[in-house]
Every structure is written in C-alpha cells, then in structure tokens.
Structure 1
Amino acid sequence: MFKRITFILLVGLLAWAYQAAQPPPPNICGSPGGPPVTAPRIRLRDGRFLAYKEHGVPKQVAKYKIIFVHPFFSSRHDPIIATAVSPDVIEDLGVYIVSFDRPGYGESDPDPKRTTKSLALDIEELGDQLELGSKFYVIGYSLGGQVIWKCLRYIPHRLAGAALISPVINYWWPGLPANLSSFAYKKQAPQDQWALRAAHHIPWLTYWWNTQNFFPKHRALSGKVGNTFSRQDWENVRNAKVSGREKHKEHATQQGEAESIFRDMVVGFGSWEFDPMDLQNPFASNEGSVHLWQGDEDKLVPVELQRYIAEKLPWIHYHELPGGGHLLPAADGMSEIILKALLIKE
C-alpha cells in the first residue's frame, strides 16, 4: 500500500513538473486576439512573416546596404548603429540600414524549429526580398552579434562585410580552451551561470527555470542589471542614450517570452552545428572585412574570450576599447567609428 501511494505521488509530482515546464502558446501577431500587425513584413520560405524597419537613405540610391541584427530583449525599433549616428553622416556616407524583428520578437512570427542556421537563411531571404543586391553588410550587437557568426558560416557569399559588437559568446564552443572558458564562465554571477547551464543542458526546462520564484533568475531577466554595467555604461544610461530600447521593451516580447528571449537562450547557448573557431576568412582577396568590437570592462561578455577568438582568427579586425562596457555602441561617437571602419577602406 505504501509503495502504491509513493508511486502515485511520484507520478503526480512528475506530471506537475512537466506541466509547469510547458510555456503558454505564443500570442501571434495578426491572430484573433493577438497584437496588431503595424510593420511591413516579408513572407519567408516556410510561411513565417518577418517584420522589418528601414532607416537612412532610400535603398535605391544607397552606396552601402546594411542588415542590423538586434540584441536580447530588443526589436527592429532599436538599431542603435543607425540611431546613434548623426543623420548627416548617414546621408553623407549613403547608408541604408534595415533592422528586423528576430523570430518571436516584435511582429515577426515565432520559429519553434529555429537553429543556428535558420536565422542566417532568414537574413539572406530578407536581403533578397528587399532587393539589396548580391552582397550586403551585416552588423549585430550583443546576442545579435552572435548571429553574425552564423552569417559567416552559412551565407559568407552574400556578405560585403560584417561587424560584431560586444558579441555574446557560447561558453560551450568546443574550440575555446576549457580552462579559459571555465575561468570566464565563473566570472559571471552564480544565478547567470545556473540559467545558462539550464539552457545548455536541459533546454526543455528553460521556460520554468526563468519564470519560477524559488531562486534568482538571470540578471538580464530579473531587471537587476546594476552590477552588470560598467562606469561607461552608467554614463550612457544617465545621458538617456539607451532610453529607446526601454521604450520598446514591452513591444519586443508582446508575443510571449517563450519564443523570443527563452528561445534565444536555448539556441544561443545550446550545441551548435559548427564551431566559430573553425571559420575561414570569407574575404581572402581583401574585398571586404570582418570587425569585432569589445570593451575591456564589459561585465556581460568576458573580454578574455574575445581576445582568444581574435588570436585564433587573425583575419578578424579586433578592436578592444579601454573602459568600454556592454553598451559600447551608445558611447559618444562610437557607432560612427564602427560604421566607418566597416564601410570605408583605408
């Protein structure tokens, strides 16, 4: 009798745990009761819609055409590389920038089958449907910067150049030395370490892990980001240079967090189909360039790992900024410097 009761209780506990781990279905834009569709969108190869926003000069007269990839908890409304640069500079250079909502964010349909490859193909298709030509530039910031590695792997033939700004690193990339990766990983707050472990080792538990109230969540999800900012970051916040991102934060996750930020964590920190350390220079004839920008006081992305990547891939133009934090592109004049370094050959 005792064994039967124990078994029933165990089954009940497992059923509860499974139910608690299941995220609610996404509230898809344009569906009955869902958020309205207000942005222009393209229809992708698998029927999903991808929302986008255009900035700068008209693409018909643009000298440079750029696709910008937004970071975690963000959207097409936050292309900091465009908004932080003077409109006069954008016009003088002849720059057209298109930002887009990554799957599940803003007004882009979720992609529950998202992989490291699928988003690179979404970017390629966006370029095709907007008629950006055979080659275009890509710029990604933070977790959006991580996406640029995928573009370098899967669509290098479509790139005129690429910039990674404070790109998030997956600590489980096999090409990273175990001792260095472990050292950098342990520099993160304990709750951040546990949240990333869950995303990597037990991805099906990611939603529950980041919505439960038993122990601290990842700092980026809890809103307690004070100790993740450098002195320069706080200056940018005080000067309201990143206020636009906060303004659109609710819009970014309006379809639900499961298929936006939590899917980001699973794909970004899961097992990749390739190792960025094995990438080859896509511009061997110097017809383009790849730039990686990193602040040495970035408390979210360890500088030690970026230094190793730059050493391992010497064809990347590595720019390390003393005193720079994670909000690097918001610093005075920094986005203009990043843009000109990518576009103008010396």
Structure 2
Amino acid sequence: MTLHDGRNLSWHEHGDRAGRPCVFLPGSATSGHAGAALDAAATASGIRLLSVDRPGMGRSDPAPRRLLADWAGDVEQLADHLRLQRFGLLGHSAGGAYALAVAHRLANRVSCTVVGAGSPPYSEDWTRADGMMSRISRFYNGLAVHTPRLFGALCRLSAPRSAKAVDRLMNLAMRGTSADAEFARTFPDQTRIAMEALGDGYRQGSSGPTQDFATLCHPWGFDLREVTGPVEWWHGEQDTNIRPLTGREITSRLPNVTPHFVEGGHYVLFSHAAQALAPLRHSGDRSGPR
C-alpha cells in the first residue's frame, strides 16, 4: 500500500485469512517473511497474521530519522487500509518494542499485545545496570548509534542472501548446547524461515536494518508505564540475547502485564506458539471474505 507521505508499506499474510486480525512485528533486521514460521499456529488458532516489513527492510520504503513512537502511524494506516477496527499485536525481540509503541498510541484499537523477548529502551539508564546487557550487546548498541555504517557493514556480513548461505547459517545455528541451538535442531523449518527473513531484511541494503535497530537505542518517545493495555510477555530463562533479568525489569514497568518466563532461549515465542497466540484469538473483529 501507499502511505500518506508517499512511501510504500509491504506486509505478508499468514494463518486464517478470515480469522481474527493480528499485526506481527518480527525481530531486528528481519522482514515480514518471518511470519511464515507462525503460519500453522496462526491457522490453528483462527488468527489472520499480518506480518509487516518495517521501513527499509523487505519491500517497504525507508523512513529515516524517526522516533520509535512514530512507527504506530504506519500501522494505523495499514489497519485503516484493511478496515480493521480492532486488532491484536505480536512482537518478537526488536519487534516487541515496536509492538509496544503501537499499543501505546493506538490503545483504543489494540485488544491485546503479545511480546516475545522484547528489546528494552536502551537509552534509559537502568538498561546499563550490571547484568542487564552483555558486552557484545553494549558493543553493537554503541556502533549502531555512533558508527552506523560500520554497524551495518558488520551485520550485513552475517545476513544470508542465497540458499547456500542459509544452509551454512543453519549448520552454525544447530551447533552447541545452547537453548537456541536446541531450538534450531528441534524446529528446523522455523529456523530456516528466520534465516531467510534475515536475508530478505537486507534486500535494500544495510541502511534500513541499521536505522531499525538504532531507533531502539534512542529515546522512544513514550514511557513503558504509559502502555496501559493488556500485555502478555514471554521470555526464555536461558535467553542470552535479551537476558531474562532485562525482561523482568521491563515487565515490572508495564502496568497491565502477564509475564511468562519459561525454559528456553530467544525463540520461546515460536516454540510456545500455540500458548502465546491464545490471547489473540479474540484480538479483533473477525475478518470478512477477501
């Protein structure tokens, strides 16, 4: 679709096309193709999953120099375009922060928000307390803010742009004893989709994914305590990407949250998809025939 400012916004549809509408916001540098990993669970749950390409990723046009809060305007126009009065939100990792931005601004239209291991507001002092972030996270956050070109170049090196590159990354992901490696071995199809979506996120180059992540490191334009709608928060106790300590601090600041801290790594939203999607079964008016 074409937005009011002339930019194109792209999205992918999965699940039950006549089901309850839910907007899915995938992780950092990842296109909406990631929603395909939830297709079966969304279909079984009667959910119409609208998985969005954020600006500069997939097929959506860039939108530089924006606050995180501004993203809600794009989702509002998408909902208007699809004639959705009320809808649910689903966000994973960086997409969790973007989902909270929509929940904050469009509280009267969002029935429920489900977040899996959502990113914290990195510009706030509490995120730099001991144990909140790993050294590698601090390093990349600094690069994204102060040397974005270097950040983009480094991240693009790991983005698979061919089937062979996806195979190589899959082999790496399955190695070791970490919770995420166990997820990759147990759910290879979902893992492959995540790798493909990462490559698709860099379809237009590295500037879009870099801006997408850097936005999380700047002030968001709203406070977590202002997100008053219901939030279901899922987090893996063995998550080394966004630590469970960080997740607990975020949930302590959300006024209407139900936390689910379970065994697993960064992808518990996908390994526990049926349970995570359950609150979204009543997420909005059922979509009519298309």
Q: Tell me, yes or no, whether TM beats 0.5.
A: yes
Give the corresponding residue for 1:19. Answer: none
Give the corresponding residue for 1:12. Answer: none
Give the one of 4, 7, 12 matched to 1:53. 12
**Pair 1:218–1:50, CA change in 2 (3 A):** closer
SS of 1:102 mapped into structure 2: coil
**Pair 1:275–1:219, CA change in 2 (3 A):** farther
1:207 aligns with 2:149: yes
Query: Which residue identity is paired with 2:130?
Result: F
Distance in 2 (alpha carbons) for counterparts of 1:342 and 1:54: 16
Q: Which runs of 4+ in 1 moved over 4 A?
A: 217-223, 225-230
Percent of residue pairs bearing the same amino acid type:
23
Give the corresponding residue for 1:196. Answer: 141
Which structure features the higher share of helix residues?
Answer: 2
Distance in 1 (alpha carbons) for counterparts of 2:122 and 2:176: 21
1:160 aligns with 2:111: yes
Output one character per residue of 1:306-342: Cα deviation in whole Å (capped at 9) or x when no partner. Answer: 2122233342011100x210011232xx101101134
How many pairs were matched up? 272
Larger Rg: 1
TM-score of the superposed pair, with normalisation by structure 2: 0.83
Runs (5+) with no aligned partner, structure 1: 1-41, 283-288
Give the corresponding residue for 1:336. Answer: 274
1:250 aligns with 2:196: no
Distance in 1 (alpha carbons) for counterparts of 2:246 and 2:99: 17
TM-score of the superposed pair, with normalisation by structure 1: 0.70
SS of 1:156 mapped into structure 2: coil
The 8 Å contact of residues 68 and 138 in structure 1, kept in 2 or not, is answered as: yes
The 8 Å contact of residues 242 and 330 in structure 1, kept in 2 or not, is answered as: no
The 8 Å contact of residues 290 and 342 in structure 1, kept in 2 or not, is answered as: no
Give the corresponding residue for 2:249. Answer: 308
The structure, 1 or 2, with the larger RCO (C-alpha pairs under 8 Å, 6+ apart) is: 2
Output one character per residue of 1:216-254: Cα deviation in whole Å (capped at 9) or x when no partner. Answer: x7997798x869987332122123131112234332211
Give the one of 100, 113, 117 matched to 2:52. 100
Give the corresponding residue for 2:288. Answer: none
Give the one of 75, 83, 100 matched to 2:31. 75
Distance in 2 (alpha carbons) for counterparts of 1:228 and 1:135: 42
Distance in 1 (alpha carbons) for counterparts of 2:157 and 2:238: 17
Runs (5+) with no aligned partner, structure 2: 161-168, 284-290
Please show how residues 267-306 of structure 1 align to structure 2 within 5 Å: 267-276=215-224, 278-282=225-229, 289-306=230-247
The 8 Å contact of residues 195 and 218 in structure 1, kept in 2 or not, is answered as: no
> How far apart are 1:157 and its partner, in Å?
1.4
> How far apart are 1:208 and its partner, in Å?
2.6
1:184 aligns with 2:125: no
SS of 1:78 mapped into structure 2: helix
Distance in 2 (alpha carbons) for counterparts of 1:252 and 1:44: 20
The 8 Å contact of residues 29 and 210 in structure 2, kept in 1 or not, is answered as: no
Give the corresponding residue for 1:231. Answer: 178
Give the one of 61, 69, 72 matched to 1:117. 69
Give the corresponding residue for 1:326. Answer: 266
Distance in 1 (alpha carbons) for counterparts of 2:234 and 2:106: 21
Distance in 1 (alpha carbons) for counterparts of 2:39 and 2:82: 21
